[in-house]
Structure formats: structure tokens, C-alpha cells
Amino acid sequence: MDPGRTNGYENKKTAEEELPHYLEKLLNLQYLLYADKRYAFLVILQGVDAAGKDGVFRHVITALNPQGTRVWSFEKPSPEELSHDYLWRVYKRLPSYGYVGVFNRSHYEDVLVVGVRNLVPKEMWKQRYEQINDFERYLSENNIRILKLFLYVSKQEQEKRLLARLLEPHKNWKFSIDDLIERQYWDEYMTAYEDMLNKTSTKYAPWYVIPADNKWFRNIAVAKIMVDVLEKMKLKWPSPPPEIQKYVTIAKKIGKLPPVPD
């Protein structure tokens, strides 16, 4: 796939004009998700350094109501996390029913980084593909809908963004020596991502590859996919309990608040 493709959008202006419409729909669907309470919605963001995960948060995720959103960034495991199985730290961060959860990186680091950098034996991380599929199937069967987004940038675009972190004072804080170290393994990471996509894109938790060289297309693509997944949940407004339904009927009949009960 060409990481610069824009799927029919001819220019930035058109995409940016459409984006607010989808962000409004996203907010309304989140409200319905919260009222329905049958499902949780988990969004997983993966990509190389400077792929645009933080940009998705700024331009798309911030449209959500923070009261109903749980965000977590998975960094290098802590000593406590290393004393458990690799999925432990993920399971404890899952969103409750009615909530949206967003993971900046995820359990997929345990088949990507560990494989590329040879942090654990190959036979150990290779079997994690099947374990992850079983884990995500379990979540899906328990009404946690999973949306997995791989933000795909070219090596040239990554270099441009990393250079900006060095040259632009307001971005210096984002630069890390690890960015340069990990970039040395670009080809290995691309092979690892392809392997990951092939082995863990399932009917219940498919991967979406987002061409992310153009930030404006990345934003509209993510927003539209999130809206599409939420709409397919067939969310419903809950019916009021019997004791409230009585007052609904009275209010409709008299056109004002019902009298205080005896």
C-alpha cells in the first residue's frame, strides 16, 4: 500500500471540511454507547515512531466526551508488569461497558519490539499470535468491540517528522535517542508488522491499515472508521424501568411535569 494514498480525497481542504461532521457523529454515538451500556469500544493505535498516534488523539479522540473515555499509553513494562504475564497490564486497562478505551500502543508490542530486538526467544513470541487472537475473541464474545488501527507512514515521512522534532523548539521535548536507534531496524519492523497483520487480523478484531503520510487524510479516515464500527453495533436507547414509564406516560398526556407522588 502507498502510505501517501488518500482514497479519493483530492485535497486537504475537502477532508478538513468533512471532519467536523464525523466528529459530531462520533460524539453522539459515544453518548448512545454510554446509555446503552451493553458494549465497550476499544480502539488500538499502532505504528512506528512519528506515525501520528499523538496526532490522532489531538484531532479525533479529543472530540469524545472525556467522562466516557479511558486512554492509556503502553510504554516499557514496569517491574510489576514484568512480574506478570504480558497480557496482564492490558486486561486491567480495558474499558467498562458504555465506555470508549483508547490504547496508544498495546499488547502488540509484545510481538513487535520483542521480536525485532530479540528480547525473548522466537518460539515464545511466535506463540503469542494465537494467544492474542484467543484473548481478542474472548473480549469480542463479551461485548468489547475492538478496532485496531495501524498508522502506516513511509520511511521518508518518518525522517521528515523526526527531523522536525530536532529543528522546531516546541517539538524538541518529543525527540528521543531511541527514535534513532529504532529507525535502524526499519526493514525488520516492516516485516514484523506485515507478519502481525497477517496473523492477527480476524473477523472479530480486524486490522485497518491507515495510509498516514498525509495527516489530514489520517484524521478523516480514523474518524470515519470509528463512526462505522459504532454504527454497526446497533446501539439502542434503553427503555425506562416500569416505575419511570408511568411518569413518562403522564408527562406525555398533560404536557408538563407530573405531580409529586404521595
Per-residue pLDDT at 223: 98
Binning pLDDT at 50, 70 and 90, where does residue 150 land?
very high
Q: What is the pLDDT of residue 118?
A: 81
pLDDT band at 134 (very low <50, low <70, confident <90, very high): very high
Average pLDDT over residues 52-70: 97
| Confidence at residue 242, expressed as pLDDT on a 0 to 100 scale | 87
Residue from 45, 225, 43 nearest 147 by CA: 43
pLDDT over 90 at 2, yes or no: yes
Q: Is the pLDDT of residue 96 over 80?
A: yes
φ/ψ (deg, to 5) at 108 = -70, -15
Measured from the Cβ of residue 137, the count of other Cβ atoms closer than 10 Å reads 15
Over residues 171-189, mean pLDDT: 92
Tell me what the mean pLDDT of segment 148-165 comes to.
97
Structural domains in the chain plus CATH codes: 12-254 (3.40.50.300)
| Cα gap 218→226, rounded to integer Å | 12
Q: How confident is the model at residue 194 (pLDDT cuts 50, 70, 90)?
A: very high
**Residue 261 reports pLDDT greater than 90:** no
Query: What is residue 243's predicted lDDT score, i.e. its pLDDT?
Result: 86
pLDDT at 140 over 80: yes
User: Does residue 112 carry a pLDDT above 90?
Assistant: yes
User: Looking at the chain, which runs of residues are DSSP E strands?
Assistant: 40-46, 69-73, 100-104, 144-152, 207-211
pLDDT band with cut points at 50, 70 and 90 for residue 16: very high
Counting residues of the chain whose pLDDT is more than 70, the rounded percentage is 100
Q: Taking 80 as the threshold, does the pLDDT of residue 262 lie above it?
A: no
d(CA 112, CA 142): 27
Beta bridge pairs of residue 146 = 42
Mean pLDDT for the stretch of residues 80-84: 96
Mean pLDDT of the chain: 95
